[in-house]
Structure 1
Amino acid sequence: MNSANRQRLCLAAAWLAVAVALPAAPVTFQTDVAAVISKAGCNLGTCHGNATGKGGFKLSLRGGDQDYDFAALVQDQFGRRVNTLSPDESLLLLKATQAVAHEGGKRFAKDSWEYRTLREWVAGGAQRQSPGAPTLVKLEVTPREQFLIEPASSVAMKATAKFSDGSTRDVTKITCYEVVNVAVADVSTDGRVTRKETGETTLLVRFLHLQEPVRLAFVPARPGFKWANPKPHNFVDEHIFAKLQTLRMNPSELASDEVFLRRAYLDLLGILPTAEEAKKFVNAGRDALPRVQPRARGASSKAAPQRGPTDKRAALIDELLERPEFADFWALKWADLLRVEEKTLDAKGMQDFHRWLRASIASGKPMDQFARELIAARGSTYANPEANFYRANRTPVIRAEAAAQVFLGTRLQCAQCHNHPFDRWTQDDYYDWAALFARVDYKILENNRRDKNDKHEFIGEQIVYLSRKGSVTNPRTEKPAEPRFLGVAKQDFEKQDELEALAAWMTRPDNPLFARSQVNRIWFHLMGRGIVDPIDDFRATNPASHPALLEALTKEFVRSGFNLRHVIRLVMNSRAYQTASEPNDTNAGDELNYARAPLRRLTAEQMFDTLHQVAGVSAEFKGQPAGTRAAELPGARIEGRRGRRAQMSPDVFLSMFGKPPRLLTCECERSTDTSMGQAFFMISGPSVNELLTRSDNRLAALLDSGRPNRAVVEELYWTALTRAPSATELAKTTAHIEQAKDRRAGVEDVLWGLVNAKEFVLRR
């Protein structure tokens, strides 16, 4: 070895000796100890992070309040949990290693890095914070998204923490990992995710107070897969198809005209096309129908449309968007969300509020204006119906939660008692937001409740106004909260009152929260699942299935002037919306990526109205004009029959099929689940039987018309299923009628079979 190499070797050895001699970075509570407690699961809701703690020991949920946790560990119970003179005798270590009885079991071994970390901290005096210690500012996780195609079956995560002094640290080993869809994958303690079956899942990666989601997809190899290369109708399809191709999944075929027609009527109007409308559409040529061009912002829905040539599906969408039933059906969705029901609002307030909602939809009122009018509302609940938004939400925290969930797609409820465990919102954010609504008050002009047994909260007019005083106390600080918008450091209300300022901030074009949540809600109602799902739970740990598509739709919504019909038209004209529900070999298991249309049971109002429509009978609702449909009802409940005929009550039917009582500000209150009770209701219940046997229904008219059985059957199929019967169906049903002792009974049997078919009950 020459002298130069010897010098280099000696220099390297000297540097190595210095490095080894340098003391390791001191263990700190705010970074190391807190990480060990989280990694061991001690601060989860099932353990000491529970609201009441466990075994007399309580920690903040998922380490959301380090000051509280430090006091609980070091100061509570006379400091018996740590022993700085004899660290190994600390109850903190004895319990975790199960050297003494511990209901939570053994969390780590005595020779583990967790034990060494905690012991070093205790031996060093169990200090709260080292002077000048840097704080965590960012968590970086790689990869952020990964598609693993068989035979690839696992991927290792790497987590890097960035601190306020610019330093970084590999925290992969001490980070917490949680797989959302445990049927798809498992994750090891060191962050390696392994496939259990093909599918998609989100991995939540958490270090201290920061969380990052990772989207993972385990894709089957599908040997011989060939992309079908379907032609996109618009940018919606470009985003959908790009992901499907990556997943080696082809979309289903385009739905037939019959299926598309039925789907469009149900989604936009809540009813079925008549037999005549269905035949005309199906038999029309491609360019037989003109298209209504989109209206400019602020234009009346009754303005004369400009027409141009296009295909008949686009023309149908335009036509349906201008029908009065569209306003009825989409006002129903908002009536659910805004809790339009008689118990809280009284009969007149309920009717006036519903009328205002319907008029807003019918006139094409921009959705930003719609939201502003609700948030800034005040005055008489009769003269200014939008003020009923506050009559339905009587306390600051309820108003705050409702406004955030409906208009911003944010669920704040978890932050009421502690920092949100899965979102960025703190307890301070929650109460500062609630303080925006603290001055809302009511002047009750009259209260005409009959007696103490009257279920109405109030009956009579009320005035909603802003009081001079009003505050919300933050239980953490025990001081009045400072009114503040979500995610905004401080707010000045000198030029506007809180509600006016909030309404303006919420609907600003550069505020993505409002537009994004409304687009996602529209998408959900048309496609059956939100791009973010649940649709009112936007957070980093609940990522969108198609984030670029959501962003593109949001920008288009804002560009259009927050035009509801524009976004509906855009989505419905996409091939993704018009895809059939029947799966192919590649997409049978897909529920996330819109490769095929999902099957959904009709809603309560759709079931009720279409049954009456098919039977040719108008429903009767007490106190409502003749011909009123269930979708037009202003409230949640209607007065129905009592006693032996109660099962024939519209209220009983609608409740059975999931109409919500409107006690919650959440789409989740409405149910479209199926049940045995619903099946028995349809198969043998008196409601359906009464519709079929009435002497003035559609069957009576068909039989009196003198049509042959074949024509009667064809008419019933077009009316109930929006299609012609197949040759086999026609032969069997016609034979059944001819063999029946009573022709009327035979025809009733056919219609009974049609309305109990999956094809009728489901939106395909």
Structure 2
Amino acid sequence: MFRTFALPLLVATVCIHFASPLRADQSPPAAASPSASPAHPPKFTIDVMPVLSKAGCNLGTCHGNLNGKGGLKLSLRGQDPQYDYEMLVRAAKGRRINVAAPELSLFLRKASGGVAHGGGTRFSTDSPSYQLLTHWLRHGAPGPSAEAPRLVGLEVQPTQAIVADPDRALPVHVTATFSDGTSRDVTDTACYELSNLNATVDADGVVTRDKFGETTLIVRYLQEQRPVPIAFIESRPDFVWSDPQSFNEIDRHIFAKLNRLRINPSPLCEDTVFVRRVYLDAIGRIPTADEAKAFVSDPASDKRDRLIDRLLALPEFADFWALKWADVLRTEEKVLDTEGVEVFHGWIRDNIASGRPLDQFVRDLVTGTGSTFAQPAANYYRANRDPSIRGETTARLFLGTRLQCAKCHNHPFDRWTQDDYYQWSSLFSQIGYEIGENKRQDKLDKNEFAGDQTVLVAKMDEVRNPTTDRVASPKFLGGNRLDDQAMKDRLAALADWLTAPDNKLFVQSQTNFIWYQLMGLGLVDPIDDFRLTNPPSNPPLMDWLATHFADSGFDLRSLVGTIMKSRTYQLSAEPNETNVNDRTCYSRSNVRRLPAEVILDMQSDVLDSPARFLGYPTGIRAVQIPGVRSKQARKSAPEAGDRFLKTFGKPDRILACDCERSNETTLKQVFVLVGDGLNDRLASPTNRIARLALSKRSDADVVEELYWAALSRPPTEAERTAALQLIRGPNHNPAASWKDLLSAVVSNPSGNKRADALQDIAWALLNAKEFLFRK
């Protein structure tokens, strides 16, 4: 009964309110939007929506959540003004607004703290935001209009900045330009975020340093976003640029930035460090003792460049770099089958060994069809089973772009829309499979498939956008829709567009992947997150490297050699007083733990005792293993080598992402390093330790040999003294003859003092940080 009478009364009240002229005390406040006036009420799209964004109402943690909050759901970050208007004004029977008495509107009372609100108070009743919203309500809460001006430009000043101590704060100024030719200062209504914790930013866009270093301010207003790189540096009034010699163009770009930031690079690393570093990065193993000694003793000035060229030509280069691509291409046994893994990995390695250009390698992957056993590249689609996964994986690997967020809504941090996501996925929709008998071992595991499959192009259902339920027309990511000719062979058209030298995202993402493998940190970090709001740490260098890579014909060895021959790559890891806090500018070498496979192979090389892996022949190196885990592990216990790789972070290859590999240190790794696997190999009567213990070489020579084999350098005087004391012991009594020593070792390998001591020394070297970390 109440509702029956209340509704006409409300309608009448609203009509009277609309018909009544504004009283003098109802004029809009001075702080209201420039487009708002008694004759021109605030516009929902360009006036009201920024207020909602500024207050955080449409963030993912609030009403922009997929399921909304408190019964109200808004589009994430205001991507759909029409939807938001319906939710605020018309949903819930219009209970959230009161145009007759704006101050009584539920959504205003909650936001201003007048009513309990899970999100707390978002603004006060005397704030410009509150005044603008009440002004909008007094004008009848008008909705989005096709005639309303649109945001067409956003300018932020400064575009980048260096803030030197004692200055701690940097204000920014934001100007928006609209389609009607007007512009306004939106500094107070723009939204601000920072890429890390080096600084804080307030609601007015003032960035304040918390610690020295670089950060990126992301400025967002409506649908536009702008990044502002900011570096907070120490004053260093007495700073003098060291003016190091540049070896190539990489150094010129790196040093130009370091000079601006008042950071001097570390000196060149020593030869003993360089030879170890370049072997590890190029071919995934350490130099032998003889190789290291020969390099260090070589007086030639060009020996570093000559060593790099020699390493890039070795077969081990293909072994090691095939491992990197096998990780991200999901080369694992459960989905591809053991034979599929072997042929796919072999194909990857052959491409690298033959020097095939990277763009052709990628072209074969995205067009790969046929038997997955006979046509190895087809395994790319065998591991990616539906259009969405294919689209996400291809964008991540070959465009450095994360699309997952756009599957449910427009991407909150990038330019990609939900339409872009499904139009891109549609490129991969016409892929089907001919599947034979599945001879899987685990009948309960639906993801396992044993046997061949044929990947083929077939007539399949088109991809539909779930929001509109309309067929998504195939479209390149950030490019054009396919024409009629391209629609006849979508994969070929995709390959042409994707690998084109002028496809900036493709060239830069592949360049960045290689840079990351050598330098330990991408110019864009993470390496699969290229977006406007995550710019390269050195944009001019990124542009030069990408151009150089494309001009070389996408030659992997050429780019690797160029990077390795730079002074930047060859810098020491030892910090100086100006670069001790640098993490992103490459002023010194980035120390990092080595991959699991490399550490295990290093142990095998030092001990001359290979690790064992289930399902693989004795002597295979860990970096040469095609897959992850042999299917025989279900019938037999894994070998010590398999357990080591798992513990030290070898990825399961479930994700098409280098992030799946872990190089972190854990407590479990400690127990592996002191456990039976390593100890058994240390105590082997046929390994290097046993041979050195039996040799006629002096104790000093033996210690020297172990240090060169494990650390690519001679022992320091203190290390040599300690090692000799351990070998000789307090009651040193050498064997009467080498025959007596041999007899003692054979009859009781653990009973020989020299052998025991050398095992202890080798164990200490294999557990040293200098051994486990690449510097």
Q: TM-score, normalised by structure 2?
A: 0.91
The offset of 1:209, in angstroms, is 1.1
For the pair 1:600 / 2:592, whether they are aligned, the reply is yes
Deviations 1:70-128 (A, max 9, x none): 11111110111111222121111111111111111111111111011111112212122
Matches within 5 A, 1:445-594: 445-450=436-441, 452-453=443-444, 457-495=448-486, 496-594=488-586
Among 346, 355, 364, the alignment partner of 2:346 is 355
Report if aligned partners of 1:40, 1:108 keep a CA contact under 8 Å in 2. yes
**Matches of 2:36 and 2:372, distance apart in 1:** 76
Q: How does 1:732-751 map to 2 (within 5 A)?
A: 732-739=722-729, 742-751=753-762
User: Following TM superposition, by how much is the alpha carbon of 1:751 offset from its aligned partner in structure 2, in angstroms?
Assistant: 0.5
Q: Work out the CA distance in 2 between the residues paired with 1:136 and 1:177.
A: 18
CA contact under 8 A between 1:647 and 1:686: conserved in structure 2?
Answer: no
Contact 1:343 1:455 in 2 (8 A): no
CA contact (8 A) 2:62 2:119 kept: yes
Cα separation, partners in 2 of 1:411 and 1:111, compared to 1, 3 Å: same
Matched AA of 1:431: Y
1:24–1:595 CA distance, 2 compared to 1 (3 A): farther
Deviations along 1:435-474, one digit per CA (max 9) or x if unpaired, are: 1111111001332224614676211111111112331120
* Partner in structure 1 of residue 682 of structure 2: 692
| 1:77 paired residue number | 92
User: Which sections of structure 1, spanning at least 5 residues, go unmatched?
Assistant: 1-18, 288-310
Structure 2 residue aligned with 1:36, among 43, 46, 51?
Answer: 51
Equivalent residue in structure 2 for 1:265, among 279, 282, 293: 279
Q: Which blocks of at least 5 consecutive residues in structure 2 are unaligned?
A: 1-33, 731-751
Asked if 1:670 corresponds to 2:661, the answer is yes
Residue 284 of structure 1: aligned partner: 298
Q: Residue 188 of structure 1 aligns with which residue? A: 202
For the 8 Å contact 2:613–2:639, the answer to whether it is kept is: no
Structure 2 residue matching 1:665: 3-state secondary structure: coil
- 5 Å-filtered alignment, 1:382-397, equals 382-397=373-388
Query: 2:755 aligned with 1:755, yes or no?
Result: no
> CA–CA distance in 2 between the matches of 1:477 and 1:566?
47
Superposition map of 1:601-640 within 5 A: 601-638=593-630
Q: Compared with structure 1, are the counterparts of its residues 136 and 63 closer, same or farther at alpha carbon in structure 2 (3 Å cutoff)?
A: same
Q: CA deviation at 1:23?
A: 5.2
Q: Determine if the alignment matches structure 1 residue 199 to structure 2 residue 199.
A: no
How far did 1:640 drift?
7.5
Looking at structure 2, the residues matched to 280 and 130 of structure 1 have their Cα atoms a distance apart, in angstroms, of 77
Aligned to 1:215: 229
Q: Distance in 1 between matches of 2:35 and 2:111?
A: 31
Residues 248-270 of structure 1: per-residue CA shift (max 9 Å, x gap): 11111100111011111111111
Query: What is the root-mean-square deviation in Å for CA atoms of aligned residues?
Result: 1.8
CA contact (8 A) 2:431 2:460 kept: no
Paired amino acid for 1:118:
L
Which residue in the other structure is 1:301 paired with?
A: none
After the TM superposition, which segments of 4 or more aligned residues of structure 1 sit over 6 Å from their partners? 19-22, 640-643
The Cα shift of 1:543 comes to: 0.9
Q: Deviations over 1:642-689 (max 9, x none)?
A: 99x96852221101110000000111000111112212321x211111
| Shift in Å, 1:413 | 0.5
C-alpha distance after superposition, 1:452-504 (max 9, x if no partner): 14676211111111112331120111112111101124221424511110011
1:538-576 CA-to-partner distances (Å, cap 9, x unmatched) read 001111100000000000001000111111000000011
* Superposition pairs of residues 39-438 of structure 1, within 5 angstroms: 39-130=54-145, 132-182=147-197, 184-287=198-301, 311-438=302-429
Is the 1:617–1:691 Cα contact (8 Å) retained in structure 2?
yes
**Which of these residues, 672, 694, 701, is aligned with residue 691 of structure 2?**
701
- Quick one: distance in 2 between partners of 1:749 and 1:45? 56
Tell me the distance in 2 between the aligned counterparts of 1:465 and 1:66.
Answer: 42
Q: SS at 1:494's partner residue?
A: helix
Distance 1:20 1:337 in 2: 51
By how many angstroms is 1:622 displaced?
3.3
CA gap 1:641/1:494 in 2 versus in 1, 3 angstroms: closer
CA distance in 1, matches of 2:353, 2:294: 26
Q: Distance in 1 between matches of 2:754 and 2:85?
A: 82
Tell whether the 8 Å contact from 2:175 to 2:183 is kept in structure 1 after alignment: yes
Give the stretch that moved more between structures: 194-203 or 399-408: 194-203
**Counterpart-to-counterpart distance in 1, 2:152 and 2:36:** 30
Is the contact made by 1:344 and 1:392 (CA closer than 8 Å) also made in structure 2?
Answer: yes
State whether residues 81 and 144 of structure 2, in contact with CA within 8 Å, keep that contact through their aligned partners in structure 1.
no
Q: 1:209 to 1:21 in 2, by over 3 A?
A: closer
Q: Is the 8 A contact 1:647 1:653 kept in 2?
A: no
**Equivalent-residue separation in structure 2 for 1:529 and 1:507 (angstroms):** 24
With over 3 angstroms needed to count, the CA separation of the structure-2 counterparts of 1:35 and 1:698, relative to structure 1, is same
User: How far apart are the structure 2 equivalents of 1:194 and 1:32?
Assistant: 28
Q: Give 2:250's aligned amino acid.
A: V
Give the letter for the 1:690 counterpart.
D
Deviation, structure 1 residue 719: 0.3
Partner Cα separation in structure 1 for residue 441 and residue 226 of structure 2: 55
Q: State how far apart, in whole Å, the 1-side matches of 2:376 and 2:78 are.
A: 45
**What is the number of residues matched between the two proteins?**
720
How far apart are the structure 1 equivalents of 2:769 and 2:638?
A: 23
Identity of aligned residues (%): 52
2:508 aligned partner, one-letter code: R
Structure 2 Cα separation of the partners of residues 152 and 170 of structure 1: 25
* d(CA) in 2 for partners of 1:123, 1:197: 47
Judging changes above 3 Å, is the alpha-carbon distance between structure 1 residues 344 and 641 closer, same or farther for their aligned structure 2 residues?
closer
Check conservation: 1:346, 1:456, Cα contact below 8 A. no
In 2, Cα distance between equivalents of 1:190 and 1:410: 31
For the residue of structure 1 that corresponds to 2:428, the secondary structure is coil
Deviations 1:493-540 (A, max 9, x none): 424511110011001111111110000000000000000000010001
Could you tell me which residue of structure 1 aligns to residue 736 of structure 2? Answer: none
- Residues in 2 aligned to 1:356 and 1:165: alpha-carbon distance in whole angstroms: 57
In 2: Cα distance, 1:370 partner to 1:112 partner: 59
2-structure distance, mates of 1:632, 1:343: 19
> Contact 1:271/1:609 (CA < 8 Å) preserved in 2?
yes
Return the alpha-carbon distance in structure 2 between the equivalents of residues 53 and 715 of structure 1: 67
CA distance in 2, matches of 1:599, 1:20: 55
Residue 203 of structure 1 aligns to a residue in which SS? Answer: strand
Give the Cα–Cα distance (whole angstroms) in 2 for the partners of residues 736 and 742 of structure 1: 9
Change (3 A) 1:108 1:456: closer
Displacement after TM superposition at 1:705 (Å): 2.4
| Distance in structure 2 (CA, Å) of the matches to 1:392 and 1:451 | 18
Q: How far apart, in 1, do the equivalents of 2:634 and 2:509 lie? A: 42
Contact 1:640 1:649 in 2 (8 A): no
TM-fit CA distance, 1:62: 1.0
The answer on whether the counterparts of 1:449 and 1:456 sit within 8 Å (CA) in structure 2 is no
Preserved contact between residue 614 and residue 639 of structure 2 (Cα < 8 Å): no
Return the alpha-carbon distance in structure 1 between the equivalents of residues 79 and 336 of structure 2: 39
